[in-house]
A and B are shown apart, each in its own frame.
Chain A
Amino acid sequence: MAIRVVVDPITRIEGHLRVEAMLDDHNKIQDAMSSGTMWRGIEVILQGRDPRDAWAFCERICGVCTTVHALASVRCVENSLGITVPKNADIIRNIMFLTQMVQDHVVHFYHLHALDWVDVVSALKADPVATAALAAKVSPTWGLASEGYFRDIAGTLKKFVESGQLGIFQNAYWGHPAYKLPPEANLMAVAHYLEALKWQKELVKIHTVFGGKNPHPNYLVGGIASAINMQGDNAINMERLNLISGLIDQATDVVENMYVPDLLAVASFYPEWTTYGGGLGNYMVYGDLPQNGIGDISKFRFPRGVILNKNLNEVLPLDLTDSDQVQEEISHSWYKYPEGKTSLHPWDGVTEANYTGPDLPYKQLDETKAYSWLKAPRWKGNAVEVGPLARMLVGYASGKPEFKEVVTAALGKLKVGPAALFSTLGRTAARGLETQLAVRWLREEYNNLVANLKAGDESVADTKFWKPESWKPESKGFGFTEAPRGSLCHWIHIKDAKIANYQIVVPSTWNASPRDAKGQHGAYESALIGTPMADPKRPVEILRTIHSFDPCLACASHVIGPNGEKLAEIVVR
């Protein structure tokens, strides 16, 4: 008899996500549903406000990928108002972008994803001497690897477990047959879980320098707010730059000598996971990290494009303003469209909340009806995946040498071909490889900033169109970025100096989307199908694949009301 596995809440993610998986007689997943179970209504709240304030509201969509919505927002307002930001502002925004990406990816790997692969309790059985030997082999260049160090960590863990208060580690899946790491690898991973936790608070100081705080640093329409004055003591100066430079060195050490070696070591124990979790096989990237202004797509570090059906021989062009390309549909979402409409481009988007799910509390959702607060965005009718794997594949397929280099090196170490990338493990590995690129680019962007300052340019903001009196009575714009979780775009309509319409299509809406009218699954759903589960009551396999996408549900499920309609009264049946 078929089993229906419900996992709600999916933990170690941002926000609220529910997964229901239908298993066949051999406990293999034959169908799945991904349901976003929260909704906040940020776009409705934005209407009628000052467009220069929008970044702050949008930034609060997510505190985990803090900054990404602020960046998309200032870009969309600037696009609408015809503002070109100074070169320093582009570079500093790139530095803030990369800071966010590196910190977020490392935290995802160690604190949100690792426990799917690492058995904390098994680490208790580890021999510190053997662990030190393993660590030296995995990464000879990482400093903390002595026998005494691992003995201390083992002692910490033992006492913690013996205290009987296991906190966040209680009632988990320890001892589950899907865990394959030897005790020493588990102990090393636990040690690095703690090291990463200590380190992650350091790198974000770069945001504090330029944006005053983290999470949620400040952004500015027209550039950045933190002035540069190399001859002054009360703005960005040599002391601040040195702080940043030191933090980049530290991050490089963590990524190159701890994160990437750990990732490849853990991956080598789970070869079967290069065959599960591939999913759609369609990948989309908007592109980002401008080297010659946001308008020059050809000079992005992350190239733009779409790959369909795993075809790495062709990267298709993408246009965010073409109303036939990006569209959202709602056949399985708790929203209503006007008569006769099934799918709309965000420029013309109409949204009306319409909860038709079961009465609360409910036990299960119905995949034949609406079942999510997420809409189903599609590119030319295709369900696509966004995020690190998509970026690495589009970079690789576009023939960018730096992408080829890191991908080829990792595949070589794992002794697998490029096809292994289309999998759960491929997605997790792509995030690590992307971090490797990101930390190198962080240094390059820092150098670019210094070079530009040396050339005498200290300008950080263009204030020509700061005052609403200088704006056209009506304008439209869009602003995109590549958030850690994938492609993100904001669309704005400004009228009489106020926001008339604001729409956001976020990465996790693409990935966590429900089915569409044609019955096409979203990326999470598709990726779960075909995975065997060892023990359906302890759903480690579901967590592995879902976490490989790094879900962010506060981002995904805020979308509503782009045209200022009054929300429908929602009746709970």
Chain B
Amino acid sequence: MPLRSQSTYDLLRSHGVDRRTFLDYCVKLTATMGLGSVALPQVVSALETKPRLPVIWLHGLECTCCSESFIRSSHPIAQDIVLNMISLDYDDTLQAAAGEQVEEIRKKVMKDYKGQYLLAVEGNAPTKAGGAYCTINGQSFLSILQETAADAKAIVAWGSCASHGCVQNAKPNPTGAEPVKKLITGKPIINVPGCPPIAEVMTGVLAYILTFDQLPELDRVGRPKMFYGQRIHDKCYRRPFFDAGQFVEAWDDEGAKKGWCLYKMGCKGPTTYNSCSTVKWNNGTGFPIQGGHGCIGCSEANFWDNGPFYERLSNIPVPGIDSTPDKIGETLTVVTGVGVAAHMGWQLAHRKPNPARQPAEKHD
């Protein structure tokens, strides 16, 4: 059974988009997905011929920042995704219908596209109080999630809520909120963490699935390697200041005005895997460190409980601005051997990303 009658290209054509614009769009999309120009024909072909994929987008305990981020995508823009790439059949944030009519849609899609629809989950499910902390139409979100996941082709867990648990899952987790991977088994789950995830990362993941008809390659915690393969620190434009030992020591100080490294202000860039320093935010306008504030590590599991945010990552000394190699040597001799090893290992790991060194998930 064909999923739909028209391809993305058909629809774009019908919108008055010419082929040159279409190809330009494909080029940007290909680049966003981190694919070389070799993959361009594949992207073009996919968008020309593939049917629109039915998507059910559920909202549990969340703040809707993922949806808000999603509509900020600049390439492709939200309009293209919703009108051309996917068939967003159920999404209570944007849906025209309400109540009974919207629940009918969910049931219909589950039946008509059994095993073929993509389930996107924003937020997570509370497990305490019999599920009463989040209900839709008198039904617990937990049971809606389980019911909708049963016949989904795959699940995309948007944001840190669905991927890891995020804020409502922080200690003491009063509602027993649990991420999708804890509640659903036997289905492929793509975790796209971040609070929220970067818009172009979200649309890039969807476009990859549509283009290549396969799920992206995932790391051991289920994140697409194409966007979560490196630490923010690895590609941070302030990295040279870290290496030179030039740090912001207090807010609004001389170092802050010069854009020096925020490590001492608690920046979690060195332990956070995300594309903030490469893809950047809001069509490349900037990212948290560029805005003068350290990374809070929002795409890492349990980042709320790994704080405080303004405490530097460890007590290991880093080179000071006036340090000479001798002084650094002296400092190193007085810290514990473990500390030295950790620091050296950490430095080395920056140069060569090693999946084995990714911070372990406490919950896993």
Contacts and interface: CB of A to CB of B under 8 A. Distances in A.
A1 interface: no
Nearest to B288: A212
A163 B11 contact: yes
A207 B256 CA distance: 18
A137 interface: no
B183 interface: no
A560 interface: yes
B252 A208 contact: no
- Of the candidates A41, A155, A168, A567, the one having the most CB atoms from chain B within 10 angstroms of its own CB is A168
- Of the candidates A15, A229, A362, A363, the one having the most CB atoms from chain B within 10 angstroms of its own CB is A15
B68 A218 contact: no
Given A8-B138, A39-B175, A222-B251, A53 B87 contact: no
Contacts of A353: 129, 174
A117 B259 CA distance: 49
Interface string A351-372: 0010101111111100000000
Given A45-B167, A220-B293, A11 B98 contact: yes
Interface stretch (B70-78, B223-231, B322-330, B336-344): B70-78
A16 B257 contact: no
B16 A225 contact: no
A495 interface: no
A63 B72 contact: no
Query: Which 8 A-B pairs rank lowest in CB-CB distance, beginning with the nearest?
Result: A63-B65, A234-B259, A212-B291, A212-B288, A41-B174, A572-B130, A172-B96, A159-B14
B285 A209 contact: yes
Given A37-B135, A220-B251, A539-B98, A9 B293 contact: no
Interface string A206-239: 0111111111111010111111110011110000
Given A9-B137, A170-B89, A235-B257, A45 B97 contact: no
Contacts of A111: 94
A159 B252 contact: no
Contact of B62 (A7, A56, A554): A554
A474 to B, nearest CB: 19
A463 B166 contact: no
A334 to B, nearest CB: 8
A463 B251 contact: yes
A57 B172 CA distance: 14
B87 A167 contact: yes
B15 interface: yes
State which size class the interface on B falls in: 35 or more
A220 to B, nearest CB: 6
Contacts of B281: 208, 212-214
A355 B132 contact: yes
Contacts of B54: 165
Contact of B136 (A37, A120, A461): A37
B287 to A, nearest CB: 6
19 contacts: A6-B100, A9-B136, A41-B175, A50-B308, A57-B170, A163-B5, A172-B96, A172-B101, A205-B285, A211-B291, A213-B276, A213-B286, A213-B288, A223-B251, A235-B292, A360-B138, A360-B139, A364-B138, A570-B129
Interface stretch (A194-202, A418-426, A446-454): A194-202
B134 A16 contact: yes
A77 to B, nearest CB: 13
A152 interface: yes
A187 interface: no
B98 A225 contact: no
Interface residues of A, number: 112
A554 B304 contact: no
A8 B65 contact: no
B143 to A, nearest CB: 8
Given A111-B94, A152-B16, 13 more contacts: A11-B98, A16-B135, A18-B135, A164-B5, A165-B52, A171-B101, A197-B77, A209-B291, A211-B291, A212-B288, A543-B98, A570-B130, A570-B132
Contact of B104 (A8, A171, A210, A560): A171
A144 interface: no
Contact of A156 (B68, B83, B102, B195): B83
A204 interface: yes
Contact of A63 (B15, B66, B94, B141): B66
A218 B174 contact: no
B146 interface: no
Interface string A167-191: 1111111000000000000000000
Interface in A459-482: 459-461, 463, 466
Contacts of B292: 212, 224-227, 235
A537 B98 CA distance: 11
B359 interface: no
Given A14-B93, A205-B285, A538-B101, A64 B68 contact: yes
A260 to B, nearest CB: 22
A459 B253 CA distance: 9
A110 to B, nearest CB: 11
A26 interface: no
Contacts of B259: 227, 232-235
Contacts of B131: 360
A228 B257 contact: yes
Nearest to A354: B129
Interface string A316-335: 00000000000000000010
B128 interface: yes
A10 B97 CA distance: 9
B99 interface: yes
